[in-house]
Amino acid sequence: MSNPRPRQAVLAVRGKHVTKVNDVVIKIATVNGTGSASANGLLRKSIFRMGVPVVGKNYFPSNIQGLPTWYEIRVTGDGYSSRADRVDVMVAMNAQTYARDMADVVPGGWLIYDSTWPRSGLLNRDDITIIGIPLSRMCNEHFEGARSRILMKNIAYVGAIVALLDVDLDVVTQLLEETFAAKKHLVDANMEAIRLGYDFARENFPCPLPVRVEKMDKTKGHIVIDGNTAAGLGAMYAGATVGAWYPITPSTSLMDAFRNFCAKYRVDPETGKRTYAIIQAEDELAAIGMVLGASWAGARSFTPTSGPGISLMSEFIGFAYYAEIPAMIYNVQRVGPSTGMPTRTQQCDLISCAYASHGDTRHVLLFPGDPAECFSMSPVGFDLAERLQTPVMMLTDLDIGMNDWMVPELEWDDAYVPDRGKVLGAEELEKIDKFYRYLDVDGDGIPYRTLPGVHPKGAYFTRGSGHTKLGAYTEDSAEYQEVLDRLLVKWETARKLVPEAEIRYSKFNKAAILTIGSGDGACKEALDRLQQQKVGLNYCRVKAFPFTDAVRDFIDKHEVVYVVEQNRDAQLRTLLINDIDADQRKLVPLLHYNGMPLHAGFVVERVLEEIAKGQAA
Amino acid sequence: MTYIAKPKVSHPSLRKNELGLTKRDYEGAVSTLCAGCGHDSVTAAIIQAVFELNIEPHMMAKMSGIGCSSKTPAYFVSQAHGFNSVHGRMPSVTTGANAANRELTYIGVSGDGDSLSIGVGQFVHAIRRNLNMCYIIENNGVYGLTKGQFSASADIGSKPKKGLANQQEPIDPASTALSLGATYIARSFSGDKEQLVPLIKGALMHRGFALVDVISPCVTFNDHEGSTKSYSHTREFYHHVTNIDYIQPSEEIRASYEAGEAMPVELHGGEVIVLRKVDNQYDPTSRASAFGYLRDRFNAGEITTGLLYVNEHREEMHELMGNVDTPLAKLPYEGLNPGSAGLKQIQARYR
């Protein structure tokens, strides 16, 4: 193989550079289906291993091959968890999006491109530095086969970035050795590709750039994980034995994770038999039907889905509310309405989940703020579903579910015992005279239930039609209303059992930010930035619906509450007004709903705008 | 008289089964269906079948969707849990319940609207999974509760009480099930209890998906002149292709059957169903010939009844998934995760 020296690239430094250490945003533009994900992951993980906090965001198309996709690595020594609102270093590997990728770079930033092909017509910014590296040519010279050349081109740009940003090459090497522990030849090939990019950059450009990475000690005790993996793991730890689902972006990887964990930890080593059932249903209607059947028969059961799935499940969700059957539903929200943008993020199903189904229904919702909470709230969700005998929906979103978040290591309390709720066993049934399914014996609105196959006295007829507190069919007004009113008692019990909101309060602040789920990171970063501008705000992140008394008190104590959420119609604000009668004049909606994850810059800008408006008025 | 509570008294001379229970112990609430409804005869056949099979009432689960047929689980075996779900979705609920507890005997009662229109997707996929259940379709060709619209099983040319005759091709649940790989397919008539009871018994004891399609006339909306699902039409055109006897393991099996006429089929629990063929050409173990036969007889205007197809060799849902024998709902929690130590190991790859 010939190995001519690459021609000398000319680096014309343009724009006013700022020296920044461990505060850099790298965005990599590629074509989907070219295997760039593992290369990008290698870079992200290498920086994390250097002890520097990172955020990984994937902006990908609803497509298998050929459309533009981006991966963004935010290196954040301050440990912020949301996406950045700028790009310092763009790796423009996709000719389709070259022009707009270049436009995205901050003045004084850098653009790396594959200089195998001339791009002179496109190099039209004079305030950024363009770095050309002949990636394709080098890889074509060093690797055989089209697929291998494409894959190694990705690894080669990682090599260049390693040199340009001063990422520790030893860490990269070690990661590759771990990844391909069983395949030595792959370690060698990948290292060769790394060195192609690395050496070319070192030989032709002043390395490192003024923005660079430096070892820290801020990732100890942390992991980088996505929410779907964490939720799948949480479902296994909660003791789920039946999972039913219909594949839908962006929830699919949740069941994949559950399946992978179960394949390892839920197979009898002697017989090879499984202690879990995963059923791929024909649609979401069937998936939720299976969950209800399994829960009714006594198994911990769940389904992962996204907005369109909730629409299809709604009839059954109402049934479960009225017939009082536990169900755990994960809704990894994506952009609606309708098919919307399946690979973009939003918090747009708050109302459709809170009141899913016809008739008077309301459902317990959980709102984790990051993957760690997807894990820790999973057993909470299963416990609440069985304690309250009702569907519980955990609402995450694509940003939490599919992006890479640095979170504290997950912890598990071995003393955990599942709360299976009020279930009468054979001995208890033997002792009682007669069992009635919907009696409020304890005054908390939660009746006792029985499982089939336990005792003849436990038998009852589960129905979605009008029923009395004894469980019998009825069309009598008073008997019907008695049960419907008792469900409201149960709702108030739920209010006391759901996870408490996260609250930061100082009596000196008269205004506050209130947010939900994945808004957490951007809002906390915004609080810091606003504080630097002498704008002090309190903070509340709700973690569940119904809203707790603490949320009500929090709103009461403030003159203005900026409700930050990721949908067009201020759905969280509507729920606050509806559920706890919050004063709507205080609740100022700050709405971000373009499909990209929320960032701090948006929150800061909108809060300052609202303050200015208030002062003008 | 449906508002009157059913008295719970039984005559001491009533025959008892091996569990010491009488047929009264397998009854349920008083039916609220129309007088003369075919469904009530099916309910009576179910009661007789489970009584004779000595099934413990609380080890049964009665599943249904919405419609006249779906009301009937309230009318039998009141000591069993019942699940009257939403329209057309009984198969999914049964799939989940069975996934959680494989020890119960599942009987689903559905109708032609519930299974062949709104729920046709779930019906089809429960068959593909070979869900271990007895699935009864009380088939009358009309929607009763909404007053007489055609269902998807109405035959071409069948006349409604008012309006035009049906012009759309009917869905035949038996041949549909055959094409999808159901492992026990029977058809009968609510007015032929002698044939129906052993077919239900075989279906209950079969391991896998057992369909019993029962022509069950609607006396109010589809029992008139010109209807192809009326009592008189069914009596005139239905014919037995097989008759079956159901023999429990404890019973003595007759030494011999005349070749070509009778065919014993052993079920997984050791029970035997003896098929007595009325038509010697018929082979109920061949999907292809059963399919052709059903089609030919259908084209000739006949209603073929009996055990139409049986296959005792295909694995049911749990076996296909490789699940443990213990019902998943009964597994102790302790074994279901690797604890805090395991969690540490799992997280190594996320560092």
Task: Tell me the per-residue pLDDT of A589-613, one tens digit each, with 9 for 90 and over.
Answer: 999 999 999 999 999 999 999 999 9
What is the Cα–Cα distance from B89 to A147, expressed in whole angstroms? 46
Q: Is A223 on the interface with B (CB under 8 A)?
A: yes
**Beta-carbon-side half-sphere exposure of residue A609 (alpha carbons within 13 Å):** 10
Tell whether A397 and A476 lie within a shared domain: no
Does B10 reside within a domain? no
Chain B residues with beta carbon closer than 8 angstroms to that of A297 = 61, 96-98, 100-101, 104, 329
Task: Tell me the per-residue pLDDT of A72-83, one tens digit each, with 9 for 90 and over.
Answer: 999 999 999 999
Does A7 reside within a domain? no
- Return the pLDDT at B1: 37
Count Cβ atoms below 10 Å from residue B105 Cβ, excluding itself: 19
The dihedral region occupied by B39, where left means phi > 0, alpha psi between -120 and 50, and beta the remainder, is alpha
Share of chain A above pLDDT 70, in %: 96
Give burial (CB, 10 Å; 0-12/13-18/19+) of A173. middle
Mean pLDDT over each residue of chain A, to the nearest integer: 95
In residues, how long is chain A? Answer: 617
Pick from A224, A454, A462, A475 the residue to mutate for testing the B interface (most B CBs within 10 Å). A462
Chain B residues with beta carbon closer than 8 angstroms to that of A452 = 58, 61, 80-81, 97, 101, 104
The two tokens of residue A368 are 């984790």
User: Which of A373, A408, A443 is the endpoint of a domain?
Assistant: A408
- Return the pLDDT at A12: 55
Does B274 reside within a domain? yes
Tell whether A42 and A159 lie within a shared domain: yes
Tell whether A63 and A138 lie within a shared domain: yes
Gap from B123 CA to chain A (nearest CA, Å): 10
- Return the pLDDT at B246: 81
Does A10 reside within a domain? no
Task: Tell me the per-residue pLDDT of A116-153, one tens digit each, with 9 for 90 and over.
Answer: 988 776 667 889 999 999 999 999 999 999 999 999 99
Does A415 reside within a domain? no
DSSP output for B117-146: TTTHHHHHHHHHTT-SEEEEEEE-SEETTT
CA-based torsion, A575, A579, A580, A585: positive or negative: positive
DSSP output for B162-185: SSPPP-SPPP-HHHHHHHHT-SEE
User: In chain A, how many domains are there?
Assistant: 4
Supply the CATH number for residue A168's domain.
Answer: 3.40.920.10
Task: Tell me the per-residue pLDDT of B218-269, one tens digit each, with 9 for 90 and over.
Answer: 999 999 999 999 999 999 998 888 888 887 776 655 445 555 566 778 887 7
**Beta-carbon-side half-sphere exposure of residue B160 (alpha carbons within 13 Å):** 16
Per residue of chain B (351 residues), what is the pLDDT tens digit?
345 556 666 678 889 999 999 999 999 999 999 999 999 999 999 999 999 999 999 999 999 999 999 999 999 999 999 999 999 999 999 999 999 999 999 999 999 999 999 999 999 999 999 999 999 999 999 998 898 899 999 999 999 988 899 999 999 999 999 999 999 999 999 999 999 999 999 999 999 999 999 999 999 999 999 999 999 999 999 888 888 888 777 665 544 555 556 677 888 778 887 877 777 778 889 999 899 999 998 898 889 999 999 999 999 999 999 999 999 999 999 999 999 999 999 999 999
The two tokens of residue A604 are 């800061």
Mean pLDDT over each residue of chain B, to the nearest integer: 91
The two tokens of residue A608 are 């300052």
Q: Helix/strand/coil (H, E, C) string of A199-264?
A: HHHHHHCCCCCCEECCCCCCCCCEEEECHHHHHHHHHHHCCCCEEEECCCCCCHHHHHHHHHHHHH
Largest Cα span, chain A:
92
Look up residue A172 and give its amino acid. Answer: V
Chain A residues with beta carbon closer than 8 angstroms to that of B342 = 265
Count Cβ atoms below 10 Å from residue B351 Cβ, excluding itself: 15
What is the Cα–Cα distance from A555 to B194, expressed in whole angstroms? 72
Average pLDDT of the residues in A189-214? 96
Tell whether A241 and A204 lie within a shared domain: no
- Return the pLDDT at A5: 41
- Cross-strand partners of B10: none
Check A456 against B99: CB less than 8 A apart. Answer: no
What is the Cα–Cα distance from A150 to A170, expressed in whole angstroms? 24
User: Which of A202, A219, A236 is the endpoint of a domain?
Assistant: A219
Tell whether A358 and A464 lie within a shared domain: no
Check B121 against A282: CB less than 8 A apart. Answer: yes
Torsions phi, psi for A192 (to 5 deg): -65, -45
Task: Tell me the per-residue pLDDT of A66-109, one tens digit each, with 9 for 90 and over.
Answer: 899 999 999 999 999 999 999 999 999 998 899 999 999 999 99
Check A452 against B340: CB less than 8 A apart. Answer: no
Tell whether A456 and A551 lie within a shared domain: no
Does B1 reside within a domain? no
Tell whether A66 and A199 lie within a shared domain: yes
Is the N-terminal amide bond of A499 cis, ω within 30° of 0?
Answer: no
- Return the pLDDT at B255: 43
Tell whether A164 and A47 lie within a shared domain: yes
Tell whether A390 and A454 lie within a shared domain: no
Q: How far is CA B5 from CA B29, B32, B35, in A?
A: 8, 12, 17
Does B237 reside within a domain? yes
Three-class SS state of A163: helix
Does B341 reside within a domain? no
Q: What Rg do the C-alpha atoms of chain A give, in angstroms? A: 27
- Return the pLDDT at B6: 65
pLDDT band at A65 (very low <50, low <70, confident <90, very high): confident
What is the Cα–Cα distance from A410 to A65, expressed in whole angstroms? 34
Does B7 reside within a domain? no
Task: Tell me the per-residue pLDDT of A466-491, one tens digit each, with 9 for 90 and over.
Answer: 999 999 999 999 999 999 999 999 99
Supply the CATH number for residue A310's domain.
Answer: 3.40.50.970
* Residue B61 · residue B105 · CB < 8 Å: yes
Give the residue from chain B lying closest to A224, CA to CA.
B350
Check A299 against B101: CB less than 8 A apart. Answer: yes
CA-based torsion, B233, B236, B237, B241: positive or negative: positive
Residue the block writes with tokens 């704008």: A535
Count Cβ atoms below 10 Å from residue A147 Cβ, excluding itself: 11
Tell whether A474 and A596 lie within a shared domain: no
Query: Which residue of B58, B96, B330 is in closest CB contact with A459?
Result: B58
Gap from A264 CA to chain B (nearest CA, Å): 10
Q: Helix/strand/coil (H, E, C) string of A262-282?
A: HHHHCECCCCCCECCEEEECC
Count Cβ atoms below 10 Å from residue A6 Cβ, excluding itself: 17
What is the Cα–Cα distance from A252 to A234, expressed in whole angstroms? 15
Beta strands in chain B (DSSP E): 60-64, 81-84, 105-111, 133-139, 142-143, 149-150, 184-189, 209-215, 238-240, 242-247, 262-266, 272-277, 303-310
Gap from B88 CA to chain A (nearest CA, Å): 10
* Residue A334 · residue A249 · CB < 8 Å: yes
Check A409 against B321: CB less than 8 A apart. Answer: no
Does B206 reside within a domain? yes
User: Which of A497, A528, A548 is the endpoint of a domain?
Assistant: A497
Task: Tell me the per-residue pLDDT of A17-44, one tens digit each, with 9 for 90 and over.
Answer: 778 999 999 999 999 888 899 999 999 9
Supply the CATH number for residue B159's domain.
Answer: 3.40.50.970
User: In chain B, how many domains are there?
Assistant: 1
- Return the pLDDT at B239: 85
* Residue B222 · residue B310 · CB < 8 Å: no
ipTM: 0.95
The two tokens of residue A100 are 């707009």
In residues, how long is chain B? Answer: 351
Query: Which residue of B95, B329, B338 is in closest CB contact with A290?
Result: B95
Does A4 reside within a domain? no
Tell whether A256 and A379 lie within a shared domain: yes
Does B87 reside within a domain? yes
Nearest to A72 by CA among A33, A44, A42: A44
Does A421 reside within a domain? no
Check B74 against A225: CB less than 8 A apart. Answer: no
Chains A–B, number of C-beta pairs less than 8 Å apart: 219
Count Cβ atoms below 10 Å from residue A532 Cβ, excluding itself: 9
| Domain assignment of residue A601, given as a range | 502-616
Task: Tell me the per-residue pLDDT of A488-513, one tens digit each, with 9 for 90 and over.
Answer: 999 999 999 999 999 999 999 999 99
Q: Please list, in sequence order, all residues whose beta carbon lies within 8 angstroms of the beta carbon of residue B240, skipping any fewer than 6 positions away.
A: B195, B278, B305, B306
- Return the pLDDT at B270: 80
Q: What is the DSSP letter of A503?
A: E
Torsions phi, psi for A27 (to 5 deg): -120, 130
The two tokens of residue A36 are 């760039």
Q: Write down the H helix ranges in A332-476.
A: 350-354, 371-388, 398-402, 426-431
What is the Cα–Cα distance from B270 to B206, expressed in whole angstroms? 10
Q: Is B325 on the interface with A (CB under 8 A)?
A: yes
Q: Return the minimum-mean-pLDDT range out of A2-6, A31-35, A351-355, B98-102.
A: A2-6
* Residue A85 · residue A600 · CB < 8 Å: yes
Tell whether A214 and A250 lie within a shared domain: no
Task: Tell me the per-residue pLDDT of A374-422, one tens digit each, with 9 for 90 and over.
Answer: 999 999 999 999 999 999 999 999 999 999 999 999 999 999 999 999 9
Check A292 against B93: CB less than 8 A apart. Answer: yes
| Domain assignment of residue B185, given as a range | 23-334
